[in-house]
């Protein structure tokens, strides 16, 4: 009964504290991903390598500064270190994608980590500035081989495709949050070691940087050991048509196939085009930020505040992306947020005051955070495993090329344009050159974002503006509510769906009890053949066809009219049964369901939780697996699920369901008409 009390309390509180419920949902989603041991270990590996990346930035910059005697060369220390790590992305990222798709990803990652560790230690031992830049370039090459292998392997470690987004969130938080703080903190700790390091004479700062580089090498060696010994799952593939090594095409052919795939697939083509627009705008902002801060009559503090605003916006965008994606399809959300970032960047370019600039820069960061996380999720969940490595590599390569080009081209444009005097209503006004350059970057982002949206939009019959406004309000673009009743047995779901519909009608609501999908499945099978369909794929297709018909004929029209739709065994129960009884990949089934239902998901799912104790051992094992899968779905998204104990008399269970649902719907009653605005 404890579960029922918790569930009931959660539903009641959801009506009063939606924001708290949202945070609880996020915590549960992230915990469900971290509960997967292979992913948790890979997350630790990501931490070690990311700390190494940030530590190397400071350590190598310190070494260059100490090795170069010229003040002019010392002023370029950071730029040279960044440049030698940026160039490999332009040259070697496509090769990394081919390696990730052709060879064992775990072996690729181990080899790259061993090479990176060896190169960093060699920098400390050789002590030559020329070798430092050469080794740093080679380290960047290894990173471009390591990243596609790691990113393309992540979805294979997860239990469900809907966990890809949470996994990406955790990866970005680790790479740009926890690891950044740890890397800078570790360098500060090393730099604060007492003067006993200087007992033998010599330069103390040089010794500190050398020790940091050595520690950096040890971090990569540790990563290699963990990947080699504790992560055998990275070698796994989800493709059922895996080719033998001898049958695979060569490097050139695989590279050509990857480019052809990106050009011929609208989803990937739109993703690439959108990323180009986003990276171009980002490069322009980065390159002009210093002078833009001066145009706001600020100095170094203003420059720092602008960067803080960007990163705060990025964090907010990445945190809110999953909730927006619940109401707006990923394929639409990606292009829309890039266009929104471009429009907001226009306001940044025209901002007359610092507070307006800070607010709009944060909005640009938020849009960029949503777009970036959405793009990674699309690659992880919708690009097939055989092409995923090359797609990740292509995006990485574009990131380096476009950022490099924009960062180099924007200052040249600023130098050419110079400051201009313009007359506004007879009054002279000085226009800083950074403003028109930013406007140009904004226009590029808007145009390419629109192109990406047109390429990727799979719901062109639905107006995007109404869908977007509904997503911002946190609601689907319909007037009604969809309630699904899920459970292990049809007897439970059928009885409780009928009783719930009757209880809601008694509350004065317009309720549609949708057709029983399993009844239609049996009827359709009879029409197709006199015998039961034996093939699992055929049964899955029948189940999807029936649900597509019910959604199109009954559910969507009722929702558009503002009704409450109650439907039993809508999506979750069939998914759990097919996953538990067949060798079909859960990702395949999810894709089939999304296509059949148009990604229509319930506003609320009632999960009937009944312990199974009767039956043969094989049947018990099957029921246990189904119940476990359903429980995992509920744990991953608790603000959309209510778990109700189904053990007991039907009347008692019906009262539990009613007491859980009715208070929630009472709080939503007033919001239903607002969804139509």
Per DSSP, the residues of 105-139 read HHHHHHHHHHHHHHHHHHHHHH--HHHHHHHHHHH
Sign of the CA dihedral with 416 first, then 307, 363, and 165 last = positive
Q: What average pLDDT does range 40-59 have in this prediction? A: 89
Kindly state the tokens that stand for 588.
């395949």
Q: Which CATH number is associated with domain 36-234?
A: 1.20.1250.20
pLDDT of residue 618: 56
CB burial class (10 A; 0-12, 13-18, 19+) of residue 199? exposed
Kindly state the tokens that stand for 93.
């990222």
Element spanning 326, H or E: helix 300-327
**Percent of the chain's residues with pLDDT above 70:** 73
Q: Helix (H, G, I), strand (E, B), or coil: what is residue 677?
A: coil
pLDDT of residue 45: 94
**Helices marked H in 351-425:** 354-382, 385-417
Q: Count helices and strands (H / E) in the chain.
A: 26, 7
- Is 105 in contact with 148 (CB distance < 8 Å)? no
Q: Is residue 279 very low, low, confident or very high in pLDDT (cuts 50, 70, 90)?
A: confident
List, in order, residues 6 or more apart from 436 with CB less than 8 Å away. Answer: 349, 417
Taking the domains of the chain in order of start, what are their residue ranges? 2-17+478-676, 36-234, 256-477
pLDDT tens across 299-343, in order?
A: 667 777 887 788 788 888 887 887 777 667 778 888 889 999 999
How many degrees, rounded to 5, is the angle at CA 383 between CA 25 and CA 32? 25
Average pLDDT, the chain: 75
Q: What average pLDDT does range 85-90 have in this prediction? A: 69
What CA dihedral angle connects 414, 416, 417 and 419, to 10 degrees? 80
pLDDT of residue 199: 44
Pairing of strands 420-424, 427-431: antiparallel
Q: What average pLDDT does range 493-497 have in this prediction? A: 86
Q: Between the CA of residue 637 and those of 105, 484, 625, 644, what are the distances in Å?
A: 31, 14, 19, 15
Name 609's bridge partners: 645
Kindly state the tokens that stand for 587.
């990702």
pLDDT tens across 451-463, in order?
A: 988 888 765 555 5
Query: Looking at domain 256-477, does it have CATH number 3.40.50.11900?
Result: no
Give the homologous superfamily in CATH for domain 2-17+478-676: P-loop containing nucleotide triphosphate hydrolases (3.40.50.300)
pLDDT tens across 571-618, in order?
A: 888 888 777 776 666 667 777 777 788 778 888 888 888 765 554 555
Element spanning 22, H or E: helix 18-34
The CA distance from 640 to 644, in Å, is 13
Q: Helix (H, G, I), strand (E, B), or coil: what is residue 515?
A: coil
295 or 200: which carries more pLDDT confidence?
295
Q: Between the CA of residue 294 and those of 254, 298, 469, what are the distances in Å?
A: 48, 5, 36
pLDDT of residue 636: 65
- Is 539 in contact with 579 (CB distance < 8 Å)? no
Q: Is residue 220 very low, low, confident or very high in pLDDT (cuts 50, 70, 90)?
A: very high
36-234 and 256-477: same fold?
yes
- Largest separation between any pair of C-alpha atoms in the chain: 92
pLDDT of residue 5: 33
Q: Is residue 245 very low, low, confident or very high in pLDDT (cuts 50, 70, 90)?
A: very low
List, in order, residues 6 or more apart from 615 with CB less than 8 Å away. Answer: 623
The CA distance from 555 to 513, in Å, is 9
**DSSP character at residue 234:** G
**DSSP character at residue 482:** E
pLDDT of residue 197: 47
Kindly state the tokens that stand for 89.
């992305």
132 or 632: which carries more pLDDT confidence?
132
Per DSSP, the residues of 572-594 read HHHHHHHHHHSS--HHHHHHHHH
């Amino acid at each position: 009964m404890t579960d029922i009390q918790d569930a009931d309390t959660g539903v009641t509180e959801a009506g009063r504290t939606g924001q708290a419920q949202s945070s609880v949902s996020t915590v549960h989603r992230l915990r469900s991903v971290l509960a997967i041991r292979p992913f948790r270990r890979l997350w630790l590996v990501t931490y070690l390598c990311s700390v190494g990346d940030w530590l190397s930035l400071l350590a190598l910059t310190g070494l260059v500064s100490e090795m170069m005697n010229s003040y002019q060369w010392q002023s370029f220390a950071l730029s040279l270190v960044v440049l030698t790590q940026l160039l490999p992305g332009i040259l070697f990222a496509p090769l990394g994608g081919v390696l990730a798709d052709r060879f064992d990803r775990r072996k690729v990652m181990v080899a790259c980590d061993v090479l990176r560790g060896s190169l960093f230690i060699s920098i400390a031992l050789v002590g030559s500035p020329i070798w430092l830049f050469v080794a740093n370039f080679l380290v960047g090459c290894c990173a471009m081989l390591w990243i596609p292998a790691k990113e393309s392997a992540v979805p294979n470690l997860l239990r469900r495709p809907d966990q890809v987004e949470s996994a990406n969130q955790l990866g970005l938080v680790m790479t740009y949050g926890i690891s950044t703080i740890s890397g800078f903190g570790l360098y500060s700790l090393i730099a604060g070691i007492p003067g006993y390091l200087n007992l033998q004479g010599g330069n103390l700062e040089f010794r500190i940087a050398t020790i940091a580089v050595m520690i950096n090498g040890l971090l990569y060696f540790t990563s290699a050991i963990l990947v080699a010994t504790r992560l055998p799952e990275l070698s796994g593939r989800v493709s059922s048509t895996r080719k033998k090594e001898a049958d695979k095409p060569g490097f050139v052919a695989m590279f050509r196939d990857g480019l052809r795939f990106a050009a011929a697939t609208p989803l990937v083509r739109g993703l690439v085009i959108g990323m180009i627009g986003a990276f171009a705008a980002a490069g322009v902002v980065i390159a002009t930020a210093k002078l833009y801060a001066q145009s706001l009559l600020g100095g170094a503090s203003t420059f720092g505040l602008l960067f803080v605003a960007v990163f705060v916006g990025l964090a907010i965008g990445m945190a809110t992306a999953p909730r927006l994606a619940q109401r707006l399809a990923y394929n639409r959300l990606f292009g829309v947020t890039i266009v929104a970032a471009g429009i907001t960047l226009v306001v940044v370019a025209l901002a007359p005051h610092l507070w307006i600039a800070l607010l709009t820069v944060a909005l640009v960061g938020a849009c960029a955070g949503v777009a970036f996380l959405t793009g990674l999720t699309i690659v992880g969940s919708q690009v097939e495993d055989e092409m995923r490595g090359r797609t990740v590599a292509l995006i990485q390569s574009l990131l380096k090329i476009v950022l490099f080009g924009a960062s180099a081209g924007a200052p040249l444009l600023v130098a050419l344009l110079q400051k201009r005097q313009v007359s506004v209503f007879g009054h002279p006004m000085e226009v800083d050159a950074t403003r028109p350059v930013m406007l140009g970057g904004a226009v590029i982002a808007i145009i390419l974002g629109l192109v990406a949206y047109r390429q990727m939009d799979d719901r062109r019959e639905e107006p995007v503006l109404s869908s977007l406004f509904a997503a911002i309000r946190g609601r689907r673009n319909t007037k009604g509510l969809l309630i699904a009743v899920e459970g292990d047995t049809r007897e439970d779901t059928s009885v409780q769906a009928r009783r719930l519909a009757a209880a809601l009608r008694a509350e004065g609501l317009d309720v549609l009890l949708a057709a029983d999908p399993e009844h239609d499945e049996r009827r359709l099978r009879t029409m197709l053949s006199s015998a039961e369909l034996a093939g699992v794929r055929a049964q899955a297709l029948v189940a999807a066809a029936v649900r597509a018909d019910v959604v199109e004929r009954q559910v969507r029209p009722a929702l558009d009219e503002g009704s409450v739709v109650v439907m039993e065994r809508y999506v979750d129960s069939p998914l759990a049964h097919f996953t538990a009884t067949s060798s079909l990949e859960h990702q395949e089934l999810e894709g089939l369901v999304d296509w059949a239902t148009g990604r229509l998901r319930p506003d609320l799912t009632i999960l009937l939780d009944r312990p199974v104790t009767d039956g043969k051992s094989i049947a018990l094992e099957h029921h246990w697996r189904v119940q476990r899968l359903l429980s995992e779905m509920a744990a991953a998204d608790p603000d959309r699920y209510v778990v109700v104990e189904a053990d007991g008399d039907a009347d008692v269970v019906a009262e539990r369901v009613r007491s859980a649902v009715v208070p929630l719907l009472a709080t939503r009653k007033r919001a239903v008409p607002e969804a139509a605005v």
